[in-house]
Each structure stands twice: as structure tokens, then as C-alpha cells.
Structure 1
Amino acid sequence: MEQLSYATLEIMDYQGYSLKTAPERILQFGEGNFLRGFADYFIDVLNERCDLNAKVVLVNPTHRGKAERFNAQEGLYTVYLRGMENGVAQSKRRMVSSVSRCLSPYADFEGFLQTAQNPDMAFVLSNTTEAGIVYDEVCQLTDAPATAFPAKVTQWLYARFTHFGGAADAGVVFLPCELIDANGEALKSCVLRYAKQWQLPQTFAQWIETANTFCSTLVDRIVTGYPSDEADQLDVENGYIDRLATVGEPFANWVIEGPQWVGEALKLEGSGLPILICDDQGPYKKRKVRILNGAHTSTALAAYLMGYDIVRDCMADQTISAFLTQALEQEIMPVIDLPKEDLAHFASAVKDRFQNPYIDHKLLDISLNSVSKWRARVLPTILEYHAQFGTLPERLVFSFAALLAFYTGKEISGNSLLGCRDGASYPIIDNMEVLQFFAQHSQDDGFIHAVASHEAFWGCDLTAIPDFEATVTAHWRTIATQGLAVAMKAVVAD
């Protein structure tokens, strides 16, 4: 077999969609699995369905790039989407041809800057990890390149500003996909700081503000990466060797906070893609954090103590499944200000994702740093539900009792506190201050009060919430005497 390339596709008389040539209209910082299985996949679909007619230039954000591997395959790679859709297991394949090439600014800094001279360039994508959008005052305009991602962006923008004489129509749209709040605003702030630090013309700073659009985005899709265990078999099935293949789940959601003309520029109309342009991504972030992440955090610890290790396995348990459904429909969704149909569709997709037969999502992985996760993902719903309805959401309060049970342990080994399930120890991983607190108090008679009243964990005293401590204590007693399964069944409505 030959390595994947356009010549290989021609030899094998490939009948699927491919776009060999198109203007390079998108610059992308980051060549990792996520963007290739998410944004670049969408761009390929837009090219096919909506005639976007755009190619993506990948930029290695660090020294550890894979430019040679991408260029050897002429930017081509295969995406496999596997998971549940509407309760049915699905496995789909798409050969993606939206990428033109990959370059490293460390090996070819001038080539990197030359992309700024391209009049067709209209969008800049990025996923440089949560630590990527940071300001590092060490970076200088004369670096080749600057190390920090926002500094590279500033170098690129200044090259573009200079080449086009500050023309208003030379600005671009930024669509950062880093998992931080207000990622567009954060990137713009860093760029403006570099412009000031480097004493660049004030007209450049004004051009950044007026000619360029920095959109904050919210992204959601699990992309697990290269299928190393089955790569050889997949190559045989495809008829070509692909060293850039990546695997993801069918579900995806991309919320872009920006003007509607951004969607028009991307030719989204009629695409059928899960991409939304809106004025405020806040409600959609709340939907994701409360429904997806909140569902994980409120069920995972109890499910683990009930003997399960993998998310999809615990979803087959009728009690856990009913607990999750009732928590979503009766306690979480009622306090989210979005249309009921929208929330119901998202919640249904979440349950499909939890049952994905192709992803072994470990409950212990979900359990990492559960104290801060519970505070961010579950507690706000409890507070809003109580304020709105005057009662406590029973299942979410139960999840706090399950957290206490999971975090019960007295021995710290290395970076973890040791819990016990069915006579075997398991690692509880969190900040050391958290672990030390639980190790000190989990054997005390006043354990529940000590944890619930510890404001440093929750940002407030949970014992001040009417009936909270009493309700948790009742659940705790049932857990201690009859086990998690019986205790959870008791809070599941008939």
C-alpha cells in the first residue's frame, strides 16, 4: 500500500470527496488531534456542502511539531467518528482534505510571516492548550519566533498590518478553541499588551481593535486520537497508509460568540453542522457545565463505589440511569435559561455519549479533583434550585453525600489519599490540602459538618443552606449502613 496522498487517491480511483486545490484562507495554530477531528473536519464538510472553498495552513505552535508527517500526506488524513446517536451505535469514516500544508515557524520563520501577506487569509484558529493564551514579557518582536502563542500572533498581525498598509479589509477573524473563559478576549488582551510592550505604532493597536474580530468560542467533542491498536487493519480497509488518522465521537458542538456575518463568511447556512453564532455564549457554557459536566460529577463517584469502573457500564444499571435522568430533567434543566427543546436534545445527547461503546471513559479519571469540580458544576445548580423553588434538589444533594463517601480515607500515599472499595484500595487524587483535610476529618463524628462548613472548598458555608446538612446526614447514614446502591435507589423516584 502507498501512503495517503492525492496521487494515491488517483491511483486507487477514490470516489469520495476531496479538494486538492483551494485558496489558503485559514491559519491554524495547533496541529493536534482535537482541531483536526473538530474544526478542520467541519471546514472539509463546509467545502463539500457549501462551497466554502478554503484550505487550512497548520502552524506548529512549539518545537515539537509534525510538519514533515503532514506534508508527506499533503495534509490528508482520515477521521473516524464512533459512538451512540439516538441510542444506536454508529461508526463513520471521512477522509479530510481541508488542510493544505503544515509549517513550523521555528524551522521557517519567514515562511510563517509570508502567510500574513496572503490577501485571501480570513480566519485564524487555535488550540494551544489552556496554558497557550498567556502573556510572557520575555518575548520580543525580533524573536524568530517568539515563544508564547499570543506573541507569535502579534508578530503575524504586525507583518500583515505592515504589508497591507493598515487596510481595514486586511483584518481577520480569530476563533480560539482553548478551554478557558472568554478565550477571544484573553487572546486580544495579550496581543494588545505586546503591541504596547514592543512600542509598535498606535495605528497598529487601533487596527487590531477595529479591523480584526476576536470571537470567544465554546467547543465540545471528545477526540481520542490515533487508533494505534487497529491502524494496520484500518489501512488495509482504506487501501492506503495513514499515519495521521484520528478518532472522535459523533457528538460535537461549536458555539461562537460573535457577529452574524461570521457565520455568513463561513457559509454555515444549510451546512447541517452543529455550529452556532450567538451574541452570548454564557447560557451554552452553563448548559455544558451543568448538564454534561454536572451529570458526570454527580454520578461518577457513587457509581464507582457501587462497583463500576467505566461510564457506559454504569449506564446499564437501571438505578444509576434513572438517577441521572431524574437529576437532569427535574433538577438541572429547570434552572437553565434556554428553550426546553434545546435542553432536552442536549441531555439526550449526553446520555448517548455516556453509553459510547467505543470509548472506555474511566470513572476514576472523572473523579480527579472532584471537590473543585463539584463546587463549579453541581453547587450552583443546588443554590439556584433552592432559590427558585424553595426546596433542595434531592439527587444533587445526594451526590454530596456520595462525594464524602468516596473521599473517606485516612492514609495518604504519594499524591493520593487511599479510599477503600470492597476491600481494595483506590486512589483519591486532588490538591494536597484537600486530601490532608479529608484524611484528618473523615473518621470524625463531625465529618459531615466539618466538610460542609469548610468555606475554602465551596466558597460558602453549605450548612447555612436550610436542611442541607440534615439531608446529607440522612443519606450518609443509609450509605454507611446499607451501601451506595440502596441509598441511591431510595432517592430515585418511582
Structure 2
Amino acid sequence: MKQLSYQTLKEQNYSGYLLESAPERVLQFGEGNFLRAFVDYFIDVMNEKAGFNSKVVLCQPIAPGLADMINEQEGLYTLFLRGFQDGQKVNKKRIISCVSRCLNPYQDFDAVLDCTSNPDLRFIACNTTEAGIAYDPSCQFSDIPASSYPGKLTQFLYRRFEKFGTVPGKGFIILSCELIDDNGKELEKCVLEYAKQWNLGEDFIAWVKTENTFCSTLVDRIVTGYPRNEADAICEELGYKDNLIDTGEIFGFWVIEGPQSIKEEFPVDKAELPILITDNHKPYKQRKVRILNGAHTSFVLGAYLAGQDIVRDCMNDDVICGFMNKTIYDEIIPTLDLPQEELKEFAAAVTERFKNPFIDHALLAISLNSTSKWKARVMPSLKEYIKRKGTLPSCITASFAFYIAFFHGHTMTEDGLLGSRPGNDYLIKDDQAVLDFYLAHKDDSCKGLVHAVCTNTDFWGEDLTKLEGFEAAVCTYLTQINENGTYAVMKTLLK
């Protein structure tokens, strides 16, 4: 079977969209599954629908990477976006042709720096993981290349400054996709730190600030990557060998914080893409964290104790899905300030995403580090609901009881704390201090356990017994769970 290439596709009389040649206008630090199923997909659609006419040159951010494989396939790869949409199972295939090549800075950093001479280059996209945006003072300007991503970027920007520093409009629009707060601002901060540490001069610092736009962004798409178990069958059906097949969910949403003028160069509206350019990305991040992540954290622990193992199966259970929807629509959405219709539309998409027939999302995987997750994702909704309504949100309060019941383990092992549900033991994984706490309180009475958890300020940053009626309500729910199970509690709350 022939390798995927432009020639192979021509021999197959491929009739889909392909861009064989165009200026390299985007440099992308990161060549992994996520960026190829998200940023590069959007760019490919903009090329087709909005005449963006841009190739993306990739740069692998760490020494082991996909550069050779990408170059062997001339930048081409097959992307499958799969899921549940408008009540239907969907599996869309697209050959992505916007990638020109992939560079390995650890083998040839000069090739990366040579891109600074390209006057067409205008955008830099990156996703170097949460740990990627970090200032490492041990990096030196003379390193080939600097070990940190912000260090490499600073080296790249300085070379660009040397080449085009006096020419307006030759800086970059930088789209940071790492999963940290204010990713663009944090990246700019690191670059400016290196500029000072390396004595690159005030003119360069001024150029970085005035000619470059560091955009903080919010990215939202589950990318499942290379379908190892299906790859051979897929390639057989495709009629070519593709070592870079990528898979992700249908849903995708990208919020870019920056001036509206970006649209003049990055035609997201013309391509009708789910990309929003706004002066403030934080309400959308709050929406995602509170609704999508908050929904997960609110129901999965109770659902697992009720005998479920996979998110999709929970969505096919009227009681569990009903509990989740009541939590979202009645208790989370009323605490958010975006337009109600937008919030409800996003919530409806969340339910469809959770039904994805192509993703077996294990509840135990979501349960990892649930203590910090409950604090970040659910507690803000609890407090805001009390503030706005003057009463406790029943489902969110019950979810806290589900959390305690799930963490009420009995035996410590090398891998974590063991808990029990009807039919099997399960592994509770969290910070060791959290596991030690629950082990120390394994023999507490219901009332004593709830009090110990609520007053643990190391967990919550505050004493939750100060929330009027919360401790007593959680204790009531936990008693009901111990007597009748989490499923019965969910059922009662739906009446």
C-alpha cells in the first residue's frame, strides 16, 4: 500500500480539497495530535472557504517528535472528526493539506531561524503543554536551541527583529493554546524576561511590545489522536498508508483574545468557523470550566458509585443524565453572566459531546484529583448560587456528598486508596495528603466525616461550614447515600 502523498492522491483521482502550494504564513511550535486536529484543521478550512492561502511550517518543541514522519507524507494527513451531532452519529473525514513541512530544531535550528527571513510569515501558533510556558533562567541566548519554548521563541523573535525591525507589520500575531490561565500574557512575560536577562536591548523590547500581539486563547476540542486499534482497517479502506491519522470530536470552539483587526488577516468569520475573537476570553473559559468540567465533576463520582463506568452510558440513563442536566440548567447557568441562550446552546452541546459513540471516557479517569477539581470547577457555582438565590443548590450540594462517599476509602495501597462499591473495589487517586486524610477518617461517623471534610481549609481554601445550612444538608445526603445509594438520591432530586 502506497504512503499518503500528493502523488498517491492524484493516482486515486482524489476529488476533495487540497492546497499544494502557498506561502508559509504560519509557524507552529508543536506537531502533535491536538494542534493538527484543531489549529491546522481550522487553517485548512480557511484556505478552502476564505482564500487564506497559507501553509503552516511546524516545529517540534521537544527532541523526540514527528518531523520525519510528517515530511515523508509531505505534510498530508487524514483527520476524522467523530461524534454525536444533532441527534445523529457523525464521522467526517478530511485530508489536511495546509502543512508544508516540519522542522526539528534539535537537528537544525538554523532552518527554524531561517524562517524569520520570510516576509510572508505573520502568525505563530503553539501548544507546548501546560509546562511549556515557563521561564527557565538557565537558558542562554547562545544555546542551540534554548531548552525552554519561550527561550526558543525569544531567539526567533530577535532574529526577526534584526531582519525586519524597522519595517511596520512584520511582527507576529501569536496564538498560544496551552492550558494555563492567560497563556498569551504569560508567554509574553517569559519572552520579556529573556530579553532582559540576555541584554537584547530596549529597542528589541519595544518592538516585542508594539509589533507583536500575544493572544491568550481558550481551546475546546477532545482529540483522541492516532486510532491504534483501527488504523490498519482505516488505511485499507482509504487505499493508502497514513501513519499520521488523527481523530477528534466533532465539537470545536476557539476563543482568541485580541483586537477585532485580527479578522482582517485571519478570516474566521468568512470561513464560518466556531472561532470567536473577543477582547476578553475569560467569560468563555468560565463557561467551559463551570458547565463542561463542572458537570463532569458533579455527576461522575455519584454515577460511578451507582454502577456506571463510562460517560456515554450515563447519558443513556434518564436519572443520571437528568441529574446532570438539572445541575447545569437550574444551578450552574443561573450563576453565569453570558447571554442565557448562548449558555443553553453550549450546555446542549455538552450533552451531545458526552454521548460521543467513538470515545469511551472512563469515569475513574475523570475522578483523578477530584478534590482540587471540585474546588476549581464546582465550588464557584455553589457560592455564586447562594449569593444570587439566597439558598443552597440541591444538586451541587448532593454532588459534594457524592464526592465524600467516593473518597471514603478503607485501605491504602502503593497505587492509591481503595474504596468499595457494590460488586468491586476501586482505586481513588489524588494528592497523598488528600488520601491520608480520608484514610485517617475512615471510621468516622457520617456527621464527623462531613464536619472534618467541610472544615479542611487546606482542601477548599476556606471553612465550608460557614456556608449556612451546607454542612447539615451534605450530612443528610450522605446518610441517604449510605442507606439507599447515590442513584436513589439523584432520583429523589429529580422529583
Normalising by structure 1, we get a TM-score of 0.99
Partner of 2:467: 465
- Asked if 1:323 corresponds to 2:323, the answer is yes
Counterpart residue number, 2:82:
82
Query: What is the CA-CA distance between 1:411 and the residue it aligns to?
Result: 1.4
SS in 1 for 2:101: strand
Whether contact under 8 Å (1:166, 1:204) holds in the other structure is: no
CA contact (8 A) 1:22 1:55 kept: yes
* Residues 426-479 of structure 1: per-residue CA shift (max 9 Å, x gap): 000000000000111132121100001111111111111011011111111110
1:210 aligns with 2:210: yes
Aligned partners of 1:342 and 1:86: how far apart in 2? 17
Residues 28-49 of structure 1: CA deviation (Å, up to 9, x unaligned): 0000000000000000000000
User: Which contiguous aligned blocks of 4+ residues in structure 1 show a shift greater than 6 angstroms?
Assistant: none
Partner of 1:198: 198
CA RMSD of aligned residues (A): 0.8
| Paired position in structure 1 for 2:273 | 273
Aligned partner of 1:408 in structure 2 is 408
Determine whether 1:372 maps to 2:372: yes
Aligned residue number for residue 480 of structure 2:
478
Name the SS of the counterpart of 1:81 in structure 2.
strand
In structure 2, C-alpha distance between the alignment counterparts of 1:263 and 1:226, rounded to whole Å = 32
* CA–CA separation in structure 2 for the residues paired with 1:357 and 1:454: 39
Residue-by-residue CA offset, 1:18-75 (whole Å, 9 max, x unaligned):
0000000000000000000000000000000000000000001111121110011000
Cα shift at 1:167: 2.5
Aligned to 1:60: 60
Residue type of the alignment partner of 2:262: V
Label 1:284 to 1:165 Cα distance change in 2 as closer, same or farther (>3 A).
closer
CA distance in 2, matches of 1:421, 1:172: 54
Matches within 5 A, 1:37-436: 37-436=37-436
Residue identity in the other structure for 1:335: T
1:12 CA displacement: 1.3
What's the offset of the Cα at 1:241?
Answer: 0.9
8 Å CA contact 2:58, 2:102 repeated in 1: yes
Amino acid at match of 1:449: H
Tell me how far apart the structure 2 counterparts of residues 87 and 308 of structure 1 sit (CA, whole Å).
22
Partner residue of 2:457 out of 448, 455, 458: 455
Once the two structures are TM-superposed, the CA of residue 163 in structure 1 deviates from its matched residue by 1.1
CA contact (8 A) 2:451 2:471 kept: yes
Counterpart selection for 2:492 from 484, 487, 490: 490
Say whether the 8 Å CA contact 1:415–1:432 is kept in structure 2. no
> How far apart in 1 are the matches of 2:452 and 2:87?
43
Post-superposition offset of 1:282: 1.0
Cα pair 1:166 1:207 within 8 Å, conserved: no
Give me the TM-score of the superposition, normalised by structure 2.
Answer: 0.99
Q: Which residue of structure 2 aligns with residue 20 of structure 1?
A: 20
The answer on whether the counterparts of 1:161 and 1:167 sit within 8 Å (CA) in structure 2 is no
Counterpart Cα distance in 1 of 2:244 and 2:37: 11
| CA displacement at 1:237 relative to structure 2 | 1.7
In 2, Cα distance between equivalents of 1:207 and 1:154: 12
Which amino acid in 2 is paired with 1:148?
Answer: S
1:175-200 superposed Cα distances (whole Å, 9 cap, x missing partner): 01000000000000000000000011
CA distance in structure 2 between the aligned counterparts of 1:419 and 1:240, rounded to whole angstroms: 48
CA distance in 1, matches of 2:454, 2:161: 55
Aligned residue for 1:180, secondary structure, equals coil
Q: CA deviation at 1:423?
A: 4.4
| In structure 1, distance between residues paired with 2:165 and 2:49 | 35
* Shift in Å, 1:9: 1.2
State the match for 2:35 in structure 1: 35
Aligned residues of 1:168 and 1:207 also touching (Cα < 8 A): no
Does structure 2 conserve the Cα–Cα contact (< 8 Å) formed by 1:130 and 1:180? yes
Deviates more, 1:42-51 or 1:166-175: 166-175
1:193 is paired with a residue of what secondary structure?
helix
Please tell me whether the aligned partners of residues 28 and 59 of structure 1 are also in contact (alpha carbons under 8 angstroms).
Answer: yes
Which deviations, in whole Å up to 9, do the C-alpha atoms of 1:148-186 show, x marking residues without a partner? 000000000000000113423211010010000000000
Match for 2:91: what amino acid? S
Letter in 2 for 1:488: M
Paired letter, 2:467: I
Look up the equivalent residue of 2:139 and give its one-letter code: C
Q: Which residue of 1 aligns with 2:7?
A: 7
Q: How far did 1:287 drift?
A: 0.3
Identity of aligned residues (%): 53
8 Å contact from structure 2 (residues 165, 207) kept in 1: no
Q: CA deviation at 1:86?
A: 1.8
In the aligned structure 2, how far is the partner of 1:268 from the partner of 1:252? 13
**Partners of 1:427 and 1:349 in 2: how far apart?**
31
Q: CA deviation at 1:105?
A: 0.9
Contact 2:23–2:53 (CA under 8 A) maintained in structure 1: yes
8 Å Cα contact 1:327/1:395 also seen in 2: yes
Distance 1:64 1:327 in 2: 43
How many residue pairs get aligned? The number is 493
Q: Distance in 1 between matches of 2:212 and 2:314?
A: 47
Gapped regions of structure 2 (runs ≥ 5): none
1:490 deviates by: 1.1
Alignment deviations for residues 261-280 of structure 1 (CA, whole Å, 9 cap, x no partner): 11221112231211000010
Q: Which amino acid counterpart does residue 162 of structure 1 have in structure 2? A: E
Distance 2:436 2:99 in 1: 49
Contact map agreement 2:84 2:90 (CA 8 A) in 1: yes
